[in-house]
Amino acid sequence: MEIPSHLIEQLRGSKRVAVLTGAGISAESGVPTFRDAQTGLWAKYSPQELATPKAFKDNPRLVWEWYEWRRELVTRANPNPAHISLVIIEEKVENFTLITQNVDGLHKMAGSQKILELHGNIMRYKCADENIPIREFSAGSEVPPRCPNCGGYVRPDVVWFGENLDESVLKAAWEAAGSCDLFFSIGTSALVQPAASMPYLAIENRAMVVEINLTETPFSTSATYSLKGSAASILPEIVKAAWPESIKF
């Protein structure tokens, strides 16, 4: 793909870069996306049925087992060249913030430092009743297991539909999106709020906004550049063009 030279100049000269990632960046690590037909997790399961507090209340076992299945997939996954490219960009740029909707922890595993996990992390657990982190629990015969403190259910420490995002994480994400001079929206369908509004805030504040996605999204026509293709191939090309000496893959 031809990477626009203006984008490369902007990246090299940029003081503040913010990046928003979604499930598409982890697709090539073997973690299925949410909304893509056939391969998406939610082609088989409806998110409304599984990722809500009501679902957990109605059928805690189903929701627990679904998350256990996803957790296993994530445990076997490794970061791909797209995750690694973002690590290199963070090393090069003065002020870098990575905002992710992903709960898979692959950015951290790749080596990214400043990560804002908007939707939590699937490898962490919390008490469904007390909303406090749980580090250890006995995986006895009961599914889901019980909180050792209060006997409530253990649940994944992720944000479900209808739940609030962590306020300080969200505030930091808005600040990064509103103050950057270059914003990337990578592998996200740009449908789920509040993340979907962040690239628009960047545009309002005159940032260059670059979308990388296999397909058109509702945001594509608003982007400065909408690059169509896989994140794992386009991001390394961008890094190579900006800093040819720093290729690690």
Site for ligand OAD, rule CB under 6 A: 22-24, 27-28, 33-36, 40, 47, 51, 101, 119, 159, 161, 187-189, 191-192, 212-215, 217, 230-232
User: What residues contact 185, with CB distance under 8 A and at least 6 apart?
Assistant: 20, 198, 199, 209, 210, 211, 212, 213, 219, 223
DSSP assignment, residue 37?
A: T
**Rg from Cα positions in the chain:** 19
181 versus 217: smaller Cβ distance to ligand OAD: 217
Query: Which is closer to ligand OAD, CB of 147 or CB of 165?
Result: 165
Least distance (Å) between residue 13 CB and ligand OAD: 25
Which DSSP category does 22 fall into?
-
* 6 classed as catalytic: no
Least distance between ligand OAD and beta carbon 207 (Å) = 20
Least Å distance between CB 61 and ligand OAD? 19
Query: Bridge partners of 157?
Result: 121
Q: How many residues appear in the chain?
A: 249
Q: Is the peptide bond before 194 cis (omega within 30 degrees of 0)?
A: yes
Nearer CB in complex with ligand OAD: 16/32: 32
Which residues, at least 6 apart from 46, have a Cβ–Cβ distance to it below 8 Å? none
Could you tell me the smallest distance in angstroms from the CB atom of residue 79 to ligand OAD?
13
Q: Which residue is nearest to ligand OAD (CB)?
A: 24
- Hey, what are 193's tokens? 């709020």
Select from 118, 186, 106 the least CA-distant residue to 158.
118
What is the tally of helices (H) and strands (E) in the chain?
A: 11, 9
Catalytic annotation, pick one of 6, 83, 107, 119: 119
Residue number, 27 or 55, with CB nearest to ligand OAD: 27
Q: Which is nearer to ligand OAD, 150 or 191 (CB)?
A: 191
Q: Is residue 154 within 8 Å of residue 145, measured between CB atoms?
A: yes
**What is the nearest approach in angstroms of ligand OAD to the Cβ of residue 88?**
18
Return the residue matching tokens 């469904």: 128
Annotated catalytic sites, by residue?
A: 119
